[in-house]
Chains A and B, each alone.
Chain A
Amino acid sequence: MSFPLRIILFGLLSSTFAPMLAAQSSAPASQLTFNRDVAPIVFRSCSTCHRPGEAAPFSLLNYSDVKKHARQIADVVRSRAMPPWLPEPQELKFADELRLSDADINRILTWVEQGAAEGAPADLPPAPKFVQGWRLGQPDLVLKAEKPFILPPEGTDTYWNFIFRLPIQETKWVKAVEIRPGDKQYVHHANILVDRAHASRQRETEPGAGFGGMEIRIESQAFDPDSHLLFWKPGTIPYVEPEGMALRLDKGTDLVLNTHLQPSGKPEVIQPSIGLYFTDHPATKLPMLLQLENDLKLDIPPGQKDFLVTDDFTLPVDVDLMAIYPHAHYLGKDIRAQATLPDGTKKMLIYIPQWNLNWQAVYRYAEPVLLPRGTVISLLYSYDNSDANPMNPNHPPLRVNGGNRSTDEMCHLWLQVLPVNFDAANGDPRMALQEALARHNVEKNPADFEAHYNLGAMLQARGNLDAALAEYEAAVKLRPEDATGNNALGAALVEGGRPAQAVSYLQAALKARADYFDAHYNLGFALAQQNDFAAAVDQFQTALRLQPQDAAVEANLGAALAEMGRYADARVHFQHALLLDPAQPIAKENLEALKEMNPR
């Protein structure tokens, strides 16, 4: 699962007004004015979102806009509800911090108390200027959701996912993404997940329709760390990746935009679009997303006010921490992540004293934070499942467990890290990270299907097939009817040259999910290896019906037919395979072989 995100919020707020605050309180008679005292704060810290076309419900661009909401503004700055910024100030600074200084807040409050005067025109700073349209200029590729989602008028939170089928013919490197989530006033946040295997398509009732769901999981086949947090929240300005950190997009990839919507009281048409900016420079620095979690520990009794969940993960390699994304649902209360360096120094990575799901966000550090190997990353999340928590989805409270529905709870922390100071000869350091994480999860919870599965996948990717098989077997033992687990075990057995043993697992996978492309493909392969070509042809044909654009299936189907002596049929499939992928090696080689056999 990946949470690609990019954010940049507006300029850092300084506290240079602090001395003036003192002056002010000693001279309370001085009348504050909008033009001189308040406009600079509003233009810098509010207008970015409070203007036409942006997320906020009304503009704050001039005196009369601000006057019309003056008392409400006093309330929201006093409570720090605005600008939206959940983390407490800390040593490790975030980029684009939106927090107002105490001095700014006091000025606004005093101004409202004093009657919200306009002041002299000469004192008014120039109005802020904003880029119209796409922030980074016309994107190289614009994708628009095929069908809009009609947001129903009623309720509080709605989650909808849009699938964008990428119309690219070759691998592209993306240096920036601008998410236009549709009418921004009704979108709390949106993030893009990269779905290389079309895993989400089956959830659409018809192509392009999209699908509901708060948390989506995307299975990925190979070790494919989706290392970018492509996230939109109100006020987001598209983030341009540092040189060498472009995001890879291959032909046939889907982008899934997960949106969190807030009904407005009337039906709203939500039709997001995504603008992609390409670069010619492939990635040279490969960050990854570390997903720490401890959902298993989420078994929160009703009435419990302060239920603490923790987890500690030790980094196996040096990393630069680039960004952090904490995530909990409606019971989340006090959320912290902290790093204990090998020398014992503790650093707060993020501290959110009053979690609010509505303002969840990815936070990017102003400077990468070096965390040496051996650093322990600890998450400490507390949850309030009492009636005193007004956001509690259950009234009266019920026992709540970890899960994907909004009424379930979550304890997740994503860290975007870039491995540093490693020796490339020892392989991709991200694999070591991923393996350590998977191992950590298995140790934490030997009954965790996914942990075994992920560890198996990682070991398989690192070439440790025997160890991988053991993990997949453990996974299948835990969930004997799971399609993914059985398929993975079957595929690993095929890879290990044990096709006969693979067949029953692959069949079990298909029993669980009849339209499982991978399992049909793998079963075809296992059968062909045992020279049961007729049965293999059946499987490849079914696979092809499920994914008619897959060159490898075409080629394998051709090969199985050729083995059966059906050369003419075989030729057609090899040719199709080459149409789909002119470099398809099996098709190329076999077509040559057919030519030699039958030079006509």
Chain B
Amino acid sequence: MRRRKFSITLMWMGTVLAVLCGLATAQQALDLDGHAVNPFAAASGKPVVLIFLRRDCPVSGRYAPVVQKISREYADRASFWLVYPDRTDNPQDIRKSVADYGYQLPVLRDPEHALVKLSRVQITPEVAVFDGDRRLIYDGRIDDWYIDLSRARPAPTAHELRDAINAAAARTTLAHKEVRGVGCYISDVE
């Protein structure tokens, strides 16, 4: 019996290892100096918000003031990262773009789409919200400002990102865990 139990424990540990491995690959995102960075490690149990952007995507750009507003408002409650998934983008160009838009948030490149896969996002701009246990609780649009590429509402009427951060902080679940955004496909830059 003892042996059996031991082996079960081993198996269980094996599963944990496998999950960690998965995360290790997922965390091959790089900062702008080329160092691998794990956005979850620094979060110390806070919800993590990944914001996926393409420099060549106008809708991504237009969301900058919205992202800045929300990230400032929720600075204590979640940790925010900008993620650039375009493999061909170089760090200098990203650095310039981030400065032009006046972002004060940490930046990641995701050339292998490790974070993209983990987050299940498809479009820029889209966000992924993970709770303190690193569980993905929402992926998709920031809000419903854009209806399609050529039409935007005067102001959004649904606020998915805010709702998701609130849910992550309160550890509740969301009715819509996934709402696709309007913008540029990430798969086009794979």
What residues on A are CB-neighbors of B184 within 8 Å? 69, 72
Total count of chain A residues near the partner, CB < 8 A: 31
CB of A391 within 8 Å of the partner chain = yes
CB of B34 within 8 Å of the partner chain = no
Asked whether, in the complex, the Cβ of B151 is within 8 Å of the Cβ of A390, the reply is yes
B161-190 contacts to A, CB under 8 A, are: 184-185, 187-189
CB of B73 within 8 Å of the partner chain = no
CB of A81 within 8 Å of the partner chain = yes
Q: A67-B188, A265-B64, A265-B65 are in contact. Are A57 and B56 (CB under 8 A)?
A: yes
Q: Which residue of B lies closest to A57 (CB)?
A: B58
Asked whether, in the complex, the Cβ of A264 is within 8 Å of the Cβ of B151, the reply is no
Interface majority SS (helix, strand, loop, mixed), chain A: loop
Asked whether, in the complex, the Cβ of B151 is within 8 Å of the Cβ of A69, the reply is no
CB contact between A153 and one of B56, B65, B150, B188 (< 8 Å): that residue: B65
CB of A358 within 8 Å of the partner chain = yes
How far is the CB of A321 from the nearest CB of chain B, in Å? Answer: 28
CA distance A58 to B60 in the complex (A): 13
Asked whether, in the complex, the Cβ of B188 is within 8 Å of the Cβ of A265, the reply is no
| Stretch of B22-30, B41-49, B129-137, B152-160 with 4 or more beta carbons under 8 angstroms from chain A | B152-160
Question: What mask results when residues 432 to 469 of chain A are scored 1 for a CB within 8 Å of chain B, else 0?
Answer: 00000000000000000000000000000000000000
What residues on A are CB-neighbors of B188 within 8 Å? 67-72
Q: Which residue of B lies closest to A262 (CB)?
A: B62
CA distance A555 to B76 in the complex (A): 73
What residues on A are CB-neighbors of B64 within 8 Å? 153, 265-266
CA distance A76 to B183 in the complex (A): 11
Q: A67-B188, A69-B184 are in contact. Are A81 and B58 (CB under 8 A)?
A: no
Interface majority SS (helix, strand, loop, mixed), chain B: mixed
CA distance A356 to B149 in the complex (A): 12
CA distance A459 to B56 in the complex (A): 57
CB of A134 within 8 Å of the partner chain = no
CB of A4 within 8 Å of the partner chain = no
What residues on B are CB-neighbors of A72 within 8 Å? 149, 184-185, 188
CA distance A57 to B60 in the complex (A): 11
Asked whether, in the complex, the Cβ of B150 is within 8 Å of the Cβ of A57, the reply is no
How far is the CB of B108 from the nearest CB of chain A, in Å? Answer: 19
CB of A558 within 8 Å of the partner chain = no
Q: Which residue of B lies closest to A56 (CB)?
A: B58
CA distance A264 to B66 in the complex (A): 12
Residue in B62, B154, B155 whose Cβ sees the most chain A Cβ within 10 Å: B154
Q: A68-B56, A69-B188 are in contact. Are A264 and B62 (CB under 8 A)?
A: yes
CB of B40 within 8 Å of the partner chain = no
Asked whether, in the complex, the Cβ of A76 is within 8 Å of the Cβ of B61, the reply is no
What residues on B are CB-neighbors of A156 within 8 Å? 145, 152-154
What residues on A are CB-neighbors of B189 within 8 Å? 68
Question: What mask results when residues 111 to 136 of chain A are scored 1 for a CB within 8 Å of chain B, else 0?
Answer: 00000000000000000000000000
CA distance A70 to B186 in the complex (A): 11
Asked whether, in the complex, the Cβ of B61 is within 8 Å of the Cβ of A266, the reply is yes
Asked whether, in the complex, the Cβ of B157 is within 8 Å of the Cβ of A358, the reply is no
Task: Given A75-B149, A266-B101, output 14 extra A-B contacts at Cβ < 8 Å.
Answer: A58-B56, A71-B187, A72-B188, A76-B149, A154-B65, A265-B62, A266-B64, A266-B100, A266-B102, A358-B150, A358-B151, A390-B151, A390-B153, A395-B154
5 sample A-B contacts, Cβ–Cβ < 8 Å, listed by A number? A57-B57, A67-B188, A81-B149, A265-B62, A392-B154
